[in-house]
Structure 1
Amino acid sequence: MRMDEVRQAWNELPLATLDEVLQGRVPLIIAPHPDDESLGCGGLIAQCCAAGIPPHVVILTDGCHSHPGSVTHPPERLRNLREQEARDALLLLGLPHGHSWFMGLMDSDVPSAGPSFQFAARRIAGICENHDCKVIITTWRHDPHCDHEAAATLGEHVAVREGIALLSYPVWGWTLPDDQVVDEPQPRGWRLDISSEIDLKQQAIATHATQYGGVVLDDPEGFTLPDGLLDIFRRPVETFLVS
């Protein structure tokens, strides 16, 4: 399908409640980087917490390569700062202590195969088993970033291994060119109504201040969240696809 057709289909998915999306299952959310959890799932996380079924959130990478040219924020400092931003964002969304997991994988180098992949998969499977998570929610497999693609592969592998459901959420997929063709069937899933949580979600996204360009000032080539992407996540819905 062409991406303009895919996005149109996403925007026409039925509006749903949290109960319709989760069907009573405790979710485990996989975020490739600190901030993806707030961008793609902030409303869902807040709704789950308010409903007394807090999810478990796994953040795969340390995020330390977002500003590789910075002297003031070398990798170790940036790693610690981005983890704290994610913790603060999740706290804002209502996530209790003990429900977030930082795997510390190298930014831009999440494995898709081999021993490191198997180790990461076992850790995620263990969280699912220990906390009775029955649905994995991870990034869309065509998101144009290597870590997002690897997160999708990990999520699918663990879901098959554990015999549990799999949903996905697009992040950078919203920005793919209209004429790009992806190997994707007709999308199925839901748009979760987060109109009551949108302000809280925006506060959580803003907590990732290092990604806005006003914290790390000595790396002009460093990453900054683009306005076009942020506009998408100001909408009062979140998209969850049946994988």
Structure 2
Amino acid sequence: MNTNPIQGQGTSPQAWKASRRLAAVADIDGAELVPVGSRAVIISPHPDDEILGCGGLLQLLAREHRQVLLISVTDGSASHPTSSYWTPERLSIARPLESADALKRLGLPLNQMQWVHGGFPDTGVASRESELVAFLSTYLQPSDVVFTTWREDGHSDHEAVGRASLAAAQARGARVHEIPVWAWHWASPEDPRIPWDRARKLPLDKWAQARKRHAIQAFASQLYSDPGTGHEPVLSAVTVERLQQPFEVVFL
């Protein structure tokens, strides 16, 4: 498990833009990632991870008329543990609704995709990892292409979901690609811990970037200071900027 704490502002977007290793990562086409006849399965630890990591990919999949299954493992209800305003009960309703709004902003009507809610405990996925493997296995097919968070991403839920997704996909004969989300925070621009040899960049045109930016703004619970405690947003402006590059990175 990655021991890098997710604290402070992390590595700046400017540092990543200057990264030689990131610049050298080869491009890959969305149609190549998900061939004709395959279904894309996006396995998201929390409502918002599917947009932060795959908002551009989701648009490309819709454009290519690929089938999409979105699995939200948790409801994100533990994002504000001390808040009197963002209680777990309120978050369990608000965060999935924010994801639904974000998907619409991407141009992905919910009646054109399948969306499954896992109901696993936010921040506690690792304690039920074997159960998650069994749960995911019931939905996966051999022809699926799975996209999930990286097993070394630095957040316990992201890592547990990554491991469980890989195990379930291997059991079902499906392909798996991993998406870094919090790694951009704790890693350095030339960091050898990043699996650069497996990395590919999915280019996003200006329209796809704009729609992803608009979709991210749907996550009000994560983007604004907590009215109950006055704490800073879960997703700082720097965090959001790092995830709005003209490409998305996948680890094949």
TM-score band by shorter chain is 0.7 to 0.9
Asked if residue 241 in structure 1 is aligned to residue 251 in structure 2, the reply is yes
Asked if residue 16 in structure 1 is aligned to residue 28 in structure 2, the reply is yes
Tell me the TM-score normalised to structure 2 length.
0.83
What CA deviation, in whole Å up to 9, does each residue of 1:112-150 have, x standing for no partner?
A: 6xxx33332222222223xx7511111111111100110
SS in 1 for 2:216: helix
Could you tell me whether the CA contact under 8 Å between 1:67 and 1:221 is conserved in 2?
Answer: no
Asked if residue 72 in structure 1 is aligned to residue 89 in structure 2, the reply is no
SS in 2 for 1:103: strand
Quick one: which of 91, 108, 130 aligns to 2:123?
Answer: 108
> Judging changes above 3 Å, is the alpha-carbon distance between structure 1 residues 89 and 185 closer, same or farther for their aligned structure 2 residues?
closer
Structure 1: give runs of 5+ residues left out of the alignment.
none
Q: How does 1:210-229 map to 2 (within 5 A)?
A: 210-214=221-225, 216-221=226-231, 223-229=233-239
Could you tell me whether the CA contact under 8 Å between 2:21 and 2:190 is conserved in 1?
Answer: no
Identical residues among aligned pairs (%): 27
Could you tell me whether the CA contact under 8 Å between 1:68 and 1:222 is conserved in 2?
Answer: no
Asked if residue 41 in structure 1 is aligned to residue 51 in structure 2, the reply is no
Asked if residue 200 in structure 1 is aligned to residue 214 in structure 2, the reply is no
Could you tell me whether the CA contact under 8 Å between 2:40 and 2:68 is conserved in 1?
Answer: yes
What CA deviation, in whole Å up to 9, does each residue of 1:80-103 have, x standing for no partner?
A: 000110111122221433511211
AA in 2 matched with 1:109: G
> Judging changes above 3 Å, is the alpha-carbon distance between structure 1 residues 183 and 231 closer, same or farther for their aligned structure 2 residues?
closer
> Judging changes above 3 Å, is the alpha-carbon distance between structure 1 residues 157 and 168 closer, same or farther for their aligned structure 2 residues?
same
Instruction: State the superposition RMSD in angstroms.
Output: 2.5
SS in 1 for 2:138: helix
- The aligned residue for residue 3 of structure 2 is none
Quick one: which of 131, 151, 158 aligns to 1:141?
Answer: 151
> Judging changes above 3 Å, is the alpha-carbon distance between structure 1 residues 183 and 89 closer, same or farther for their aligned structure 2 residues?
same
Give distance in 1, aligned partners of 2:153 and 2:188. Answer: 14
- The aligned residue for residue 91 of structure 1 is 104
Quick one: which of 177, 188, 201 aligns to 1:167?
Answer: 177
Count of equivalent residues: 233
Give distance in 2, aligned partners of 1:58 and 1:133. Answer: 17
Shift of 1:176: 1.3
Could you tell me whether the CA contact under 8 Å between 2:71 and 2:115 is conserved in 1?
Answer: yes
> Judging changes above 3 Å, is the alpha-carbon distance between structure 1 residues 11 and 179 closer, same or farther for their aligned structure 2 residues?
closer
Tell me the TM-score normalised to structure 1 length.
0.86
> Judging changes above 3 Å, is the alpha-carbon distance between structure 1 residues 8 and 137 closer, same or farther for their aligned structure 2 residues?
farther
